[in-house]
Amino acid sequence: MTRTVLESKTKTVTIGFDEPFCVIGERINPTGRKKLAAELEAGDFSTVERDAVAQVAAGASVLDVNAGVVFNSNPDPNETEPPLMRRIIELVQGLVDVPLAIDSSVPGALEAGLEVAEGRPLVNSVTGEEERLERVLPLVKKYNVPVVAISNDDTGISEDPDVRFAVAKKIVERAADYGIPAHDIVVDPLVMPIGAMATAGQQVFTLVRRLREELGVNTTCGASNISFGLPNRHGINHAFLPMAYAAGMTSAIMNPLALPVSQKAIAEKRAAVEAAGIVLPEGMDDETFVQLFGMGSTQYRPGREMEAIRAADLLLNHDPHGAQWIAFNQPGGSTGQARSGRRGGRRRRD
């Protein structure tokens, strides 16, 4: 069986066909998050710290780290991203004990992250574009790490699944030329939005089966792409993930969290309750209030997608004795661990 091994300084995570589904937490990424981007430029890492700990507590096995913010003070990511990537990785691996995925389109940022990452991180990513292959694969070989291979090339992203399979095969073959084994390639077959392409779900399920059966590689995806532009995105993602898992997908880059209910939403709901003439007990706290009215929680907690994945682990017999499912469903249950106070350490390169 194909196994892709990731490591932190003290923890090993294996992505494989007979392993529990690997959740790669996506939230340490300033793309589309203006507040986080502004914080990073100002040297404020409080959101990064909070998101790192919360994602692991919600069950993320790996954390994706993306430092792709364009600074107003210097718009050249080749200059700003490498030191920022280094700083974030050092910070995150001092807070949580899970392997990391180093996520960047800037080769210098990938290498900066690889220089300080402990254990055996995942490089995210390489594509079938010639320049990208020539810049990234030597880094993957030099640091002896696995890599995400995205199924697009110099012609762009094809809507034809056969073309996307061919690009994945090309990357696997080119990696082999560098001495990188197929078990260290995690293919992202590219999930199209179901709102724009009605067959997007069927396409990815078929592609994942082919990648497993014909190339013998592990797979991943940006899970939320499937629901882009549609209402109730969590409902779609909740259905998509176990279906992709059953088709053979072994990991996903996703948000494991249900975000806290905002103070604005709580205030609006309290006003509506009062207007309806409902009398609440005096001094009812916000957490009791939001749970009473089915609004969620004021705290970070595992999202519906995590529930679906844990149930699928159980049903596919990847959760021995149901231990993870039982832990997930206990009050305050957590499947991840965070810690503090650790720094230092070097990653093996042999």
Do 47 and 11 lie in one domain? The reply is: yes
Q: What is the pLDDT of residue 334?
A: 57
C-beta of residue 98 within 8 angstroms of C-beta of residue 71: no
My answer on whether 173 and 313 are in the same domain is yes
Kindly state whether residues 197 and 307 are assigned to the same domain: yes
What CATH code is carried by the domain that includes residue 250? 3.20.20.20
Same domain, 35 and 161: yes
d(C-alpha 58, C-alpha 154), whole Å: 38
The pTM for the full model equals: 0.92
**One domain for residues 112 and 79:** yes
Residue 333 domain-assigned? no
Characterize the bridge pairing of strands 257-258 and 301-302: antiparallel
For residue 29, being part of any structural domain is answered with yes
293 and 170 co-located in one domain: no
Residues 61 and 122 in one domain: yes
pLDDT of residue 331: 78
pLDDT tens, N- to C-terminus, the chain (350 residues): 799 999 999 999 999 999 999 999 999 999 989 999 999 999 999 999 999 999 999 999 999 999 999 888 889 999 999 999 999 999 999 999 999 999 999 999 999 999 999 999 999 999 999 999 999 999 999 999 999 999 999 999 999 999 999 999 999 999 999 999 999 999 999 999 999 999 999 999 999 999 999 999 999 999 999 999 999 999 999 999 999 999 999 999 999 999 899 999 999 999 999 999 999 999 999 999 999 999 999 999 999 999 999 999 999 999 999 999 999 998 766 555 445 444 334 344 44
Q: Calculate the alpha carbon distances from 245 to 109, 164, 319 in Å.
A: 31, 19, 14
Residue 253 bridge partners (DSSP): 24, 222
Which residues 6+ apart lie within 8 Å of 175 measured at CB? 137, 140, 147, 149, 181, 182, 184, 185
In a domain, 65, yes or no: yes
Nearest 5°: the CA angle 153, 13, 347 is 85
Domain membership of residue 277 (yes or no) is yes
Count of the separate structural domains present in the chain:
2
- Ramachandran region, residue 344 (left: φ > 0; alpha: ψ -120 to 50; beta: rest): left
List of residues 6+ apart from 115 with CB closer than 8 A = 86
Domain check: are 195 and 282 in the same one?
no
Residues of the domain holding 253: 3-258+303-328
User: Do 185 and 292 fall into the same domain?
Assistant: no
The rounded distance, in Å, linking the Cα atoms of 167 and 126 is 11
Domain assignment present for residue 336? The answer is no
Let me know whether 191 and 247 are in one domain: yes
The answer to the question of residue 166 being in a domain is yes
User: Is 10 inside any structural domain?
Assistant: yes
- Nearest-5° Cα angle at 53, 51 to 57: 115
Domain check: are 159 and 280 in the same one? no
Task: For residue 113, give the 3-state DSSP assignment.
Answer: helix
pLDDT for 341 equals: 40
- Indicate whether 64 belongs to any domain: yes
What is the pLDDT at residue 333? 63
* 13 vs 268: CA distance, rounded Å: 43
Report d(CA 248, CA 171) in Å as an integer: 20
Q: Does one domain contain both 294 and 179? A: no
